[in-house]
């Protein structure tokens, strides 16, 4: 199709990736107290891993944007850190010593992640808005 | 005859600047898309191009201007802004985008004005 | 003294006769100046033909760029738009040239013999 907005493919990939990240953060926060996940273990924090997908080798002298590395979500992985042990003997999931394995989710960490994901998301939205206004101006060349 | 009409140095310089602006916009878009990617190095216009453009438009050489070609290259002067080696700084990038947009607006208006003047000269009215 | 002599004589400054130019021959003037008759019908029509073909090339170039843009190729938008505008300006110039030629022709035909 016609590509009127330059450099927009990578931006849309980034918007999707950041949205995925926000979804994962929301899921982590919602499951902060899930002691038994579907696999019987406490919920394990999910982490989004980004990577660069180099379409062509990016050397000096690229004359257009098609050779630039495109960002994409590589995978959603589990945080390998062990679950927190909390002393809560009244909890039905407590073991013999009264310790409960809670998901290793730190609310502050999640909030910081969420802020940075939102920031990136908004920055990429600004890029789209900007590209659109530049394209409209270009189309007005020569119009009286 | 047609070639002479469109070979004014100012006109050519404006068109080349527009080429560079469009390319820069792509670079900035890509930089912002990779704001969180580990190890990403920001890209921008090759540093030699601006000097070449200045020199060519100062000398008024149409042939030299027409032969200019802007290119993109990884920015060698950018320092990492986070532990994973990513060299993109959000505020800097947004500032550059703003400036780029202003330059685009200016050059577009100049090109438009020159074309309107040509039409006026040819037909006697716009 | 007659009024003529009252004028301070500028010839007083010319104490010597003006010497002839050292290279008094005109042989270095090129003798192949295009004579008026040789810029005749053939040159003008070939000039006009060249003009028309230049305008045509520009139109083709513009439509090719627009076509490439529509099929999704990597043509920057501003280049396509500017090519279209340039093609339109050159076409307008061709139309004006045609109008002027027509006017001059009609003017000539109207002349009383």
Report pLDDT digits (tens) over B17-70: 999 999 999 999 999 988 888 888 899 998 888 888 888 888 888 888 888 888
Q: Hey, are the CB atoms on B122 and C92 less than 8 Å from each other? A: yes
Q: Which residues contact C12 (CB under 8 A, 6 or more apart)?
A: none
Is B22 part of the contact surface with chain C (CB cutoff 8 Å)?
A: yes
Task: Quote the minimal CA–CA distance from B82 to chain C in Å.
Answer: 34
Using the beta-carbon criterion (under 8 Å), do C79 and B5 form an inter-chain contact? no
pTM of the full structure: 0.77
Element (H, E) at A51: strand A46-53
Q: Is the model's pLDDT at B3 over the cut of 60?
A: yes
Residue A118: is its pLDDT beyond 60?
Answer: yes
**Contacts for A34-38 with beta carbons within 8 Å, 24 or more apart?**
A34/A103, A35/A91, A35/A93, A35/A100, A35/A101, A35/A102, A35/A103, A36/A93
pLDDT for the residue A6: 67
Q: Where are the alpha helices (DSSP H) in chain B?
A: 2-5, 9-33, 48-59, 62-67, 90-123
Instruction: Kindly list the partner chains of chain B, i.e. chains with 3 or more CB atom pairs below 8 Å.
Output: A, C
Number of domains composing chain C: 1
Domain of C101, in residue numbers:
35-113
Please count the residue pairs, one from chain A and one from chain B, whose beta carbons lie less than 8 angstroms apart.
Answer: 122
Q: Does residue C2 belong to any structural domain of this protein?
A: no
Residue A48 backbone phi and psi in degrees, to 5: -95, 130
Nearest to A137 among B90, B104, B126 (CB): B104
Confirm whether C18 is domain-assigned: no
Residue whose entry in the numeric block shows the structure tokens 């047609």: B2
Residue A58: CB atoms within 10 Å: 17
Q: What is the pLDDT of residues A9-31, one digit of tens each?
A: 788 888 988 999 999 999 999 99
Residues C23-42: what's their mean pLDDT?
A: 50
Amino acid A81: pLDDT: 87
Domains of chain A, by residue range, sit at: 8-136
Structure tokens given for A34: 């899930």
The answer to the question of residue C7 being in a domain is no
**pLDDT at residue number A56:** 40
In a domain, C92, yes or no: yes
**Which of the residue ranges A74-88, B111-125, C19-33 would you say has the lowest mean pLDDT?**
C19-33
What confidence score (pLDDT) does residue A5 get? Answer: 73
Mean pLDDT of C93-108: 91
Report the mean per-residue pLDDT for chain C.
Answer: 75
Report chain B residues whose CB lies below 8 A from the CB of A71: 33-34, 37, 40
A115 and B CB contact within 8 Å: no
For residues C18-37, give the mean pLDDT.
Answer: 52
Q: Is residue C15 part of a domain?
A: no
Chain position carrying tokens 């003997």: A89
pLDDT at position C4 over 50: no
């Amino acid at each position: 199709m016609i590509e009127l907005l330059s450099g927009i493919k990578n931006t849309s990939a980034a918007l999707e990736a950041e949205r995925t990240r926000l979804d994962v953060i929301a899921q982590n926060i919602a499951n902060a107290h899930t002691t038994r996940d579907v696999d019987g273990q406490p919920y394990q924090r999910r982490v989004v891993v980004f990577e660069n997908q180099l379409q062509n080798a990016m050397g000096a002298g690229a004359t257009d944007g098609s050779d630039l590395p495109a960002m994409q979500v590589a995978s959603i992985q589990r945080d390998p850190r062990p679950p927190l042990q909390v002393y809560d003997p009244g909890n039905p999931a407590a073991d013999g010593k009264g310790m409960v394995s809670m998901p290793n989710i730190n609310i502050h960490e999640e909030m910081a992640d969420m802020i940075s994901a939102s920031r990136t998301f908004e920055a990429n939205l600004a890029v789209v808005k900007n590209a659109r206004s530049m394209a409209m101006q270009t189309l007005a060349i020569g119009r009286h | 005859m047609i070639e002479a009409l469109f070979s004014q140095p100012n006109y050519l310089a404006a068109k080349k600047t527009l080429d560079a602006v469009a390319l820069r916009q792509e670079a900035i878009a890509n930089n912002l898309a990779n704001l969180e990617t580990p190890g990403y190095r920001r890209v921008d216009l090759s540093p030699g191009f601006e000097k070449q453009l200045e020199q060519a438009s100062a000398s008024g050489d149409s042939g030299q201007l027409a032969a200019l070609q802007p290119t993109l290259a990884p920015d060698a002067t950018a320092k990492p802004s986070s532990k994973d080696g990513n060299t993109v700084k959000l505020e800097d990038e947004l500032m550059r985008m703003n400036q780029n947009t202003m330059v685009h607006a200016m050059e577009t208006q100049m090109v438009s004005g020159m074309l309107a003047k040509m039409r006026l000269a040819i037909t006697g009215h716009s | 003294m007659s009024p003529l002599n009252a004028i301070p004589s500028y010839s007083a400054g010319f104490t010597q006769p003006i010497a002839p130019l050292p290279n008094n021959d005109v042989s270095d003037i090129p003798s192949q100046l295009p004579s008026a008759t040789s810029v005749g019908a053939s040159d003008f029509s070939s000039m006009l033909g060249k003009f028309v073909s230049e305008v045509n090339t520009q139109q083709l170039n513009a439509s090719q760029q627009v076509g490439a843009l529509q099929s999704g190729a990597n043509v920057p938008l501003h280049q396509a738009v500017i090519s279209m505008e340039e093609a339109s300006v050159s076409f307008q110039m061709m139309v004006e040239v045609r109008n002027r030629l027509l006017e001059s022709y009609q003017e000539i035909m109207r002349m009383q013999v």
